[in-house]
Chain A
Amino acid sequence: MMPDQDTGLSLAIAQIVQRLKGSSFHSQLERQARISLHKPEIKLESLKEDIKEFLKTSGWEKKLQNAVYSELNVFPSPCHPAASPEHMKEPLVYMRKAQGSWEKRILKSLNSMCTELSIPLAQKRPIGGQKELLNKWNEMGTDEPDLSLFRPVYAPKDFLEVLMNLRNPNYENGDQPSFRNHLGLIQVPLKVKDIPELRDYFSELGLNIGQLGIDDSTQVPPELFENEHVRIGQTVLTERDSAAAQQYVRQGCPTALRAELWALILNISNQPEDILYYEQLKSNVIHHDLLVDSLIYKDVKLTASNDDYYFVFEDYLYQVLLCFSRDTSVLEHFSYNSANPPKSYIRGKLGVEEYAVFYPPNGVIPFHGFSMYVAPLCFLYHEPSKLYQIFREMYVRFFFRLHSISSHPSGIVSLCLLFETLLQTHLPQLFYHLREIGAQPLRISFKWMVRAFSGYLATDQLLLLWDRILGYNSLEILAVLAASVFAFRAVNLMEVTSLAAAEAVLADLSTLKVMPLLQIFLFATVT
């Protein structure tokens, strides 16, 4: 909480200016301003104003606006000046501790894998291997290395166990069940939105508002909504305004415009230097052989390669994920992520601070299902460098929250609690029934949310869902959808008598239409 609004604003401005200064955008802007000095309409006596005018008319002002907007979306507003950097990552001490001990478990598991298999975490690839990898860069999927000894570091199931055991030490957690215990699995008292708040928050999804995913079905004449919506979408794209695009996608993206609209919202332009950066990452992959590469291979083979929709993108997934693991710019997101990147030392230099490094270079250890965050994006972007940038931006804005312990409203803990609370208030009988038969609903829905439903929904539906994630800059919609799925299958679920049977009822989500489900759950159910 800031002392007063003005200071808060100045701090926010200073923070954004500071960050933009280090960016390539800043140098581009500076170069443009310098070039403009040669123009006759720029006069010395009104230099400042003339340059401002030039930047405005040449479209650079809009780009600056988009850059600022992107910063505002990604970075949290500055904390109280007395707060520590840890506090900015996560304000609740017990959450930070829980995240810390979870990380330690992951490190131990990775270390023991190294020891068991006697493989180092990282080593230089021999020249022969480098050439070989370079040659088959575009067909890495054809490679069938023996990965039987590798196992995913953890799966969503293991992570759920950790979240279930999360407790606030200052909270009355008596052994005896009392009114203070939650009936669900999550026991921490975070604030989550109730139905009226959700209705207000997701007001653009209301019954009276046109939606792609509903009002573009074949029965509805396109003159009623779709044509006009597409036209507006094209205008938004010509205007190149991130904020407008974000507002627009709340009602869904037309398929033909989605790739460009998402790129605009995420402020990704795929400039020559971005392509260069991607090439640099690629050469880093060629030069260094990492243990996490095998984990990535294994994960793609276990998940995306087995998926009817995504198996064709196998090669893309390797390229993107291997480059991602080498990308040190991802480390920046740890300033607002409760997680910390694993540390190590160059061989033979244990404990020498100058030789301390992060491992993997991006600080993110992939887990079972990680590649599913990339897979749906392959439908939209065919150029690897652009696909890569979109994924990286999606990760540092959203996906990291799905596997770190934090109190953020979009964090996985809040999503779980939101899901359980919604189900309990909406369908108390169903919740009670499932709980009694030992089929806690979260045990089924957790994996959906951790993967942002990727691999569970049909792709067109998934993209409609992710439209709303981008539009609202929030993951809360995932919990609402998970609850809506239970509501939709409530009749069948009331008849099951075991966890396995409940899982069977909810095994196939590929026929569901997400927008009608969300709309009915949020707006057409009497509570």
Chain B
Amino acid sequence: MEAPAPSPGHGAGRPLASGPEPCTVRSPVVLQVGDPKTDLARPGVAVIDVALPPAQPLDLQEIVFKNSYTAFLTVRVQRRHPCDVRRDSAKKWATCLRNHCLMPSPHTENGSQDYFSLTRQQMLCEVDQVTAVRLILRQPSPIWLHFTLEELQLYPRGQKSPQRDFPSWLAHLAPQRLPANLQGGIPDPEKVSAEVQQLWVLTEMIHANQTAARIGRFDVDGCYDINLLSYT
């Protein structure tokens, strides 16, 4: 038996080129007071810088990553001022997410290896024309040896992050319509025909979607003779 199908790779079946924005994720730099070799205290803060191609600033839609023992996350973005493109001083840093909680109880495992999405709706400021992203990771608990973020991906605006794997009709569930009051007049034939057609489409869809019923067979061509278990 297979687990529910994993989402297909990003952009599967989509006409537009989509998927995460190419970017360079630098390895985390830990901030530590004192000598890292002799000082026994573990660092509680690390910084990951993400560099974007300088030529094309990014309108950020979503940040997706797998956590690895980071408790709180702050995200800062460097934005280019749209009206003043040429000067470097026009690039300004802004905090778009402050101490976002990834592990509700930092001494325990909750959320420690979960996947997270941060969307632009969650951000404190506009995240358009972004030229660089800086992630500030915090882990107040000293019990973890390392903390970082993995599989970090930035998605540009206008593109959905990995596949939402549900039929499109679910995305726009029709609001409940009141049944038309039909007393005193035959319904408009056009409308009836449209509704019948809709019904027909619905039945076709159901037929197309028929999943294999459980047949409960475990033998192969009537044979289930087995000697030993396989280790792979």
Contact = CB atoms under 8 A, between A and B. Distances in A.
Given A21-B209, A357-B218, A357-B220, A80 B3 contact: no
A501 B100 CA distance: 51
B56 interface: no
Interface string B7-28: 1000000000000000000000
Interface centre among B114, B171, B182 (most CB of A within 10 A): B114
B224 A122 contact: yes
Contacts of A309: none
Contact of B231 (A44, A48, A87, A104): A104
B115 A44 contact: no
A161 interface: no
A407 B108 CA distance: 11
B36 interface: no
Contact of B109 (A114, A328, A407): A407
Nearest to A365: B229
Interface string B109-123: 111111111010100
B166 to A, nearest CB: 3
Contacts of A281: 216
Given A14-B170, A189-B143, A344 B230 contact: yes
Interface string B88-128: 00000000000000000101111111111101010000000
Interface stretch (B47-55, B61-69, B76-84): B61-69
Given A342-B229, A344-B230, A22 B212 contact: yes
Interface in A1-47: 1-4, 7, 10-11, 13-15, 17-18, 21-22, 24, 27, 30, 43-47
A317 interface: no
A121 B226 contact: yes
A27 B219 CA distance: 26
A81 B7 contact: yes
Contacts of A275: none
Contacts of A344: 226-230
Interface stretch (A55-63, A88-96, A438-446, A503-511): A88-96
A123 B143 contact: no
Contacts of B109: 92, 168, 188-191, 407
B85 interface: no
A16 to B, nearest CB: 11
Contacts of A456: none
Contacts of B107: 189
A83 B121 CA distance: 22
A107 interface: yes
Interface of A: 1-4, 7, 10-11, 13-15, 17-18, 21-22, 24, 27, 30, 43-50, 78-85, 87-89, 91-93, 104, 107-108, 110-111, 114-115, 120-124, 168-172, 180, 188-191, 277, 280-281, 284, 288, 326-329, 331-332, 334-335, 341-347, 350, 354-359, 361, 363, 407
Given A82-B162, A85-B5, A191-B108, 9 more contacts: A3-B62, A11-B164, A81-B162, A83-B66, A83-B115, A104-B231, A171-B144, A277-B216, A332-B1
What are the 3 tightest A-B residue pairs by CB atom distance, in nearest-first order?
A: A14-B166, A331-B1, A80-B115
